Each structure stands twice: as structure tokens, then as C-alpha cells.
Structure 1
Amino acid sequence: MNYIELNLRVSLDYTDILTAELAELGFESFIETDEGLNAYITEPAFDETEIQKLVAKYADQTAIAYEVSSLEKRNWNAEWERDYESIEVANSVRVRASFHQPDARFRYDIVINPKMSFGTGHHETTAMMLEQQLSLDFTGKTVLDVGSGTGILAILAAKMGAQSVLAFDIEEWAVENARENAELNACPQVTVLQGTIADVDSSNRYDVILANINRNVLLAEIPAYVGLLNSAGYLLVSGFYEHDAADIQQKAIETGLTLIQDMAIREWTSLLFQKPDENAAA
């Protein structure tokens, strides 16, 4: 089946909301670019009339233009395989495709074969999440990965010794891909479900929650994440710009969390919070 690539040239301030709007129209995957946003949908599900309506909706707020092209799946896969480069994080993690050879210099070797090249781990937010994970002790811990995509964060948690990792994503293709990647990396402790935070059993508790997702979702769901955290547990988030960090931090503080460390790369930010230790001496 062929895919449609929608190339939106728009202010980066609008990429989050347009991602949400396009997801409602059936678009499955998104890549932020220097000029705006690329979005992908199966050819039969594409309706250009809906795109024209969406562009008109925001035309008074920001300059916005679009182009549409068709991608043949077999050529698309060959293209990403040809151009895909491994990524290295903090001299400890190497993320590669299965056609790359392992490199013994890295402690954690993660193999990711993404569907149609989405979610390869090359984005700044993913790299920051991986690096921040290295500062945590996952040994014997329970982990929740929100909006897991290819499963890359869940896989690193498992490789770092997590006892169990529950990952979930709203997109069916992402769930299938994360399951494939977990198996590829011999991580049986990773379970992947399709759904949202509302589908996570509220009676369960987690030592670490990972959420590399957009600003609006984080602001809406941080209270739910905190409710699922064990005492002294950690919430690690990314997926937003530096100018949004204050809002994310304020929401986390309102729910009782403490900022432990932050990181920024090219205007993107990652924040690590901790829940108070109920057993700590007063």
C-alpha cells in the first residue's frame, strides 16, 4: 500500500496543534522539520479537501502552505535503509538498524527497525530521553512508557535491568513495530498495548514513567502519571520546546513533583522529576 506524504510549511509554534488535527484526520506518523511538519497517511485514507479546510482554519493565525506527494512503500523502505545512520548517545548507547554490525564499544546496543523510517531515535527529544535514562537505576524496577512509538525507550529500560515495562501507543502500526523491536532486542519483559493513559490499569504503580510526547498531552496527563507513580518514583518527559518547559514544570510542581535535572538540545527540552519519598524521615 502506498503512503501519502503531506509537507506542511508552517511556524514551529503550530506543529503540535497541527499534529493533533492531522491525527484526527487519520494521519499515522509525523516528523518535525526545519520548515514545519511532514505527516504520513495511507493513500486510500487521504482526503485533500480536509487538508484545504485545515489550512484555511489556521491561515489567519500563521503563514501556512502544503505540498502532497505519493510514496511507494517498497521504495520508501529502501530509501530509509540506504540513508539510515546509527545514533550514539553519551558513549553508552548505540541505536542501529539490523543491517548495521554491532559495536562492542557501547554498553547498550539497541536494534530498531522502524516501519517506514518513523521513530528511528534521531530526533533530539529521543536522544535526550535516552541520555537521561542513563542516570537512573532501572534494576528490578517497573516502568511505564507513554506513547512508545518504536519502543526504543522501553527497550533501553529493559536492557538496563527493569523487571517489567508496559509500553503503549494509540497507533496500531506503532504497537506492532514496538512489539517487533522488543522481540528483536530479546526483551520479553516489555509488554506493548494499543490505547491511551486511560487504558492503563489505575491499580498498578510504576517506579519510572517515560513520556516523550507533545506539550498539550503532557499538560493534560501529568496528574494521571503522578497517580501511577510509586513513592520516590521518577517521571522523565520530553517532546516540547524550551519555551514550554516552564509550563510543564509548573504542572509537575502542582502535582507534587520535584525537578531533578533538565537538558536542552537545539531548542528542545527534557525534564526529570521525582515524586516525594513517603518513607523519608520528616
Structure 2
Amino acid sequence: MSNSIYIEYNFKVDPVQPASDILIAELGEVQFESFVEQEDGVQAYIKKEDWNPNILDDLEILENPLFKIEYEYSEIEQENWNATWESNFNPIQVGDQCVVRAPFHEKPKVDYDIIIEPKMSFGTGHHETTHMMLQHILDHDFNGKSVLDMGSGTGVLAILAAMKGAKDIDAIDIDNWCYLNAQENVERNNCGHINVFEGTADLLVDQKYDIIIANINRNILLEDIPAYVKCLNKGGTMFLSGFYVQDIPQITERCMEVGLKFEKNLEKNNWVAVKYVF
């Protein structure tokens, strides 16, 4: 595969929170796909083919007088992503059981040691949604379960599910680079029974799962929840994230329409990860 050209934005944000979280959410709505949170702001990445010079014109946060946001942008080759990432990535510990780290980090003494090299993919454990989904997986019984990871990014959630004993696992992402990267990370963590696919919920035909994990964004979830539920075994569990506390009523209403019941949610910096049962 030839290397794609990305546009890298460097945003300086004051105050950093909650502005950075709002900025990331709004950028995600206009096809930015990867983010690195900094002490003073955010680095954001979008494929050049999806970009235009006016792409930020409709971002409400840039007009908000409560926040001061400055930015500059430049082209970056996809192959340079690792250097950018390595300069910013520290190991992430989730509880006392799990660490998400890079190959160059020292091996920790934990039950679940996940090695991730994300390149242009989302899902290092740094973002609140990924971190909370890892928490949900740690707290849930995956032994012998069949699992779907939608919007799998680096594959980190599918990998932890495999380490916790899940038997049949499908990981799906619409982005080609995520698809290739997840395959690499699955192999790196010796999780040969994870099947990685490139595509959307349209791939879900006649499959059945005990557990479905989807860390995407609110609009995609609202559209695709019915497709997920058609694949969920009765008595199954669905973990959803990628949205804010204020989005829970809308997401839960959609889930209830197709027979899911709210069980609990985790919350971190206004982001949430919600558990539903079927």
C-alpha cells in the first residue's frame, strides 16, 4: 500500500479542558481520525483526500469566546506517524491488571500486557473512551464468549477480550490503515483467533455474538445499533462509547427501541462508556 498523505493540525488550547475534548469531538464529525493530546492542546490528523482549506469553518468551538484556540497545519507522510507517536506515548495502566504499551517500553508485571503500535489508528488507551472500555472488559467475564469489536482502531479492545478468554472475535474498522494496523497488533500480541475486517456494519450478515463492543461516535452508533442487536445473542452484553454524558438519554432510547436495557456507565472527563444487556 502506498503511503497516504495526512494533514497534521497543531491546536493550542486555553483552557485545555474541557475545550480539548469538545474540539476532538467536533473534529471527529468532519473526518479527522487520529488525535494526540498535548499538555497545551491537541494534534489532529486527517487524510488529505478528506481535507479542504475550509474544513474548520463550521466548528462551533472556534467561535466560543470562553476558549482561545490557535492552530497551524502542515502535510505529513503516513510513515512519519510512528516518530510523532513515539515522542508522545507513555505506557497506560488500567487498574492494577492491564498495561497498554509500545514495543520499546519495559515489560510490566501485570496480568494483561498489551503491546500496541498504533501508527495512524485510534486506540492507545490514552483517550478516556478507550480507557473506560478497557475497564469494562477487565470487569466482565469474556471466557468462552464470542465478541464483535466495531470501530476497532488499533485492535486494543479485541486484544484484551482475547486475553480474557474470548473464543471467537471479529474486529471491524472502516479505515484501511486501521485494518492493517489491527492485523499487525493482533499478530504482535499472539491473538491468532481475532479476525480483522475492513468495512462497516454492512458486513454483519448472519453472525451472532455474546458481546459487542463499539467505541465509535454518537451518530454512527445511533444509526448502527439496530444492526448490532440483530447479531447479539439473547442474554448478551453491549458496551458502547465515543460520546458524552449528555448523549446517554438519546443512545439509551435507541437501545431500548431494539430491546436493550441500560445497566451501568463509567464516566471520565464528561466522556462515558455504557453497558447494556439484551
Whether the TM-score (by the shorter chain) exceeds 0.5 is yes
Matched, 1:114 2:112: no
Decide whether the 8 Å contact of 1:170 with 1:194 is kept in 2.
yes
Q: Equivalent residue of 1:211, what SS? A: strand
User: In the TM superposition, what is the alpha-carbon distance from 1:79 to its structure 2 partner?
Assistant: 3.9
CA distance in structure 2 between the partners assigned to 1:83 and 1:131 by the alignment: 23
Decide whether the 8 Å contact of 2:120 with 2:177 is kept in 1.
no
Residue 232 of structure 1 corresponds to: 235
CA distance in structure 2 between the partners assigned to 1:46 and 1:269 by the alignment: 28
Q: Equivalent residue of 1:273, what SS? A: strand
Residue 83 of structure 1 corresponds to: 88
- Counterpart AA for 1:77: N
1:199-218 matches, within 5 Å, as 199-201=203-205, 203-218=206-221
Q: Equivalent residue of 2:53, what SS? A: helix
1:12-161 matches, within 5 Å, as 15-16=24-25, 18-21=27-30, 23=31, 28-30=33-35, 38-42=43-47, 45=49, 50-52=52-54, 54-57=55-58, 62-63=63-64, 66-71=71-76, 76-104=81-109, 106-116=110-120, 118-161=122-165
CA distance in structure 1 between the partners assigned to 2:272 and 2:60 by the alignment: 28
Residue 280 of structure 1 corresponds to: none
- Counterpart AA for 2:44: A
Decide whether the 8 Å contact of 1:31 with 1:118 is kept in 2.
no
Deviations 1:91-132 (A, max 9, x none): 11111111112112x111111011157532210110100001
Decide whether the 8 Å contact of 1:11 with 1:35 is kept in 2.
no
CA distance in structure 2 between the partners assigned to 1:60 and 1:211 by the alignment: 26
Residue 190 of structure 2 corresponds to: 186
CA distance in structure 2 between the partners assigned to 1:256 and 1:29 by the alignment: 33
CA distance in structure 1 between the partners assigned to 2:91 and 2:23 by the alignment: 30
Decide whether the 8 Å contact of 1:155 with 1:185 is kept in 2.
yes
CA distance in structure 2 between the partners assigned to 1:265 and 1:59 by the alignment: 23
Deviations 1:147-206 (A, max 9, x none): 0000000000111111111001011010000000000000011011100011222x1110
Q: Which runs of 5+ in 2 are unaligned?
A: 14-18
CA distance in structure 1 between the partners assigned to 2:224 and 2:80 by the alignment: 38
Decide whether the 8 Å contact of 2:120 with 2:178 is kept in 1.
no
Q: Equivalent residue of 2:171, what SS? A: strand
Match of 1:274 among 255, 258, 277: 277
CA distance in structure 2 between the partners assigned to 1:99 and 1:157 by the alignment: 23
Higher percent of residues as helix: 1
Decide whether the 8 Å contact of 1:4 with 1:40 is kept in 2.
yes
CA distance in structure 1 between the partners assigned to 2:24 and 2:193 by the alignment: 34
Distance 1:59 1:185, change over 3 A: closer
Residue 258 of structure 2 corresponds to: 255
Distance 1:3 1:12, change over 3 A: same
User: In the TM superposition, what is the alpha-carbon distance from 1:235 to its structure 2 partner?
Assistant: 0.3
Q: Equivalent residue of 2:107, what SS? A: coil
Residue 279 of structure 1 corresponds to: none
Decide whether the 8 Å contact of 2:81 with 2:119 is kept in 1.
no
Q: TM-score, normalised by structure 1?
A: 0.83
Decide whether the 8 Å contact of 1:87 with 1:121 is kept in 2.
yes
Match of 2:174 among 170, 177, 184: 170
User: In the TM superposition, what is the alpha-carbon distance from 1:84 to its structure 2 partner?
Assistant: 1.6
Give the root-mean-square deviation of aligned CA atoms.
Answer: 2.8
Q: TM-score, normalised by structure 2?
A: 0.84
Distance 1:193 1:117, change over 3 A: closer
